[in-house]
C-alpha cells in the first residue's frame, strides 16, 4: 500500500520541478503570449495548480508533459478571456486608412516592401518587431489573430467559442492585418 504523498513531499517535488522546468515553461509562455508579465503569471499559476492537483498526477506521464498540458490550457483560457474583456471596437480607426472615396490615404498606402522574403520568417529581430506590433492591436482582435494563426484553430470553432459570425471573423482579421501591416512597415521596412 502506498501512502498518500504528504504535503511537504509534494511541495519539495514541486520546487525541484520549478528549478528544472520553469525556464522552459516561461520561454514557451512568452513565445505564445508575447508578454513577460502574462507569461510569468501563467507559469506561476501552472505550478500552483499542479501543487493542488498533485495527487492526480500519479507519475503516469512525464512531469514536464503534465506541466506543459496545464500551461497550454491556461494559455488558451487567456486567449478566450482576453476576447471578452470589453474593448471599444474602434472601427472608426479604419476611416483613417482610406479617404472618403475609399482610396488609400497617401501615407497609408502600402509600400513595396524590399526584402520581405522567406528569410525574414526566421529572423529573431523581426519576430520581436512582429510581437510588439501584435500587442498594439486591441486585446480582442489579438485573441482572434492568436486563435486563428498561432493555434491554427478552425474558423468555425473560433466563431462558436467567441460567439461571433463568420463575417465578424474575417472583418476582425482584416482590420488586424491593416494595422499589423502598417506597424511592420514603420518599424521594420522604413527603418
Partner 1 sequence: MMNKLMLSCKKASELIDKSDEIKLTLMEKLRLSFHVAMCEGCKSYRKQSLFIYKVLNRKSKINPENITHLENNPLKTQIITKIESLSK
Query: By the criterion CB under 8 A, which residues form the site for partner 1?
Result: 7-8, 10-11, 14-15, 18-19, 22-24, 26-28, 30-31, 40, 43-44, 47-48, 51, 68, 94, 97-98, 101-104, 109-113, 116, 118, 120-122, 124, 126-127, 130, 145, 149-152, 155, 166-167, 169-171, 173-174, 177-178, 180-181, 184
Whichever of 27 and 90 has its CB closer to partner 1, that residue is 27
CB of 176 to partner 1, least distance (A): 9
Using an 8 Å Cβ cutoff, are 47 and 22 in contact?
yes
CB of 39 to partner 1, least distance (A): 9
Whichever of 1 and 111 has its CB closer to partner 1, that residue is 111
State how far Cα 189 lies from the chain centre.
24
Residue keyed to cell 524590399: 114
- Burial of residue 42 (number of CB atoms within 10 Å: 0-12, 13-18, 19+): buried
Phi-psi group of 5: left, alpha or beta (phi > 0 → left; psi -120 to 50 → alpha; rest → beta): beta
CB of 148 to partner 1, least distance (A): 8
CB of 48 to partner 1, least distance (A): 7
Total length of the chain:
191
Amino acid at each position: 500500500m502506498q501512502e498518500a504523498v504528504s504535503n511537504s513531499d509534494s511541495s519539495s517535488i514541486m520546487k525541484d520541478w520549478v528549478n528544472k522546468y520553469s525556464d522552459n515553461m516561461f520561454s514557451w509562455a512568452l513565445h505564445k503570449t508575447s508578454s513577460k508579465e502574462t507569461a510569468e503569471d501563467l507559469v506561476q499559476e501552472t505550478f500552483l495548480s499542479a501543487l493542488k492537483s498533485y495527487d492526480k498526477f500519479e507519475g503516469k506521464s512525464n512531469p514536464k508533459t503534465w506541466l506543459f498540458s496545464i500551461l497550454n490550457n491556461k494559455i488558451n483560457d487567456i486567449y478566450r478571456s482576453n476576447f471578452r474583456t470589453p474593448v471599444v471596437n474602434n472601427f472608426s480607426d479604419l476611416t483613417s486608412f482610406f479617404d472618403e472615396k475609399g482610396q488609400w490615404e497617401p501615407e497609408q498606402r502600402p509600400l513595396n516592401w524590399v526584402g520581405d522574403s522567406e528569410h525574414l520568417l526566421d529572423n529573431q529581430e523581426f519576430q520581436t518587431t512582429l510581437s510588439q506590433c501584435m500587442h498594439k492591436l486591441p486585446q480582442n482582435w489579438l485573441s482572434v489573430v492568436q486563435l486563428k494563426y498561432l493555434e491554427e484553430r478552425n474558423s468555425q470553432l473560433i466563431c462558436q467559442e467567441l460567439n461571433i459570425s463568420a463575417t465578424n471573423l474575417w472583418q476582425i482579421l482584416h482590420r488586424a492585418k491593416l494595422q499589423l501591416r502598417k506597424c511592420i512597415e514603420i518599424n521594420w521596412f522604413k527603418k
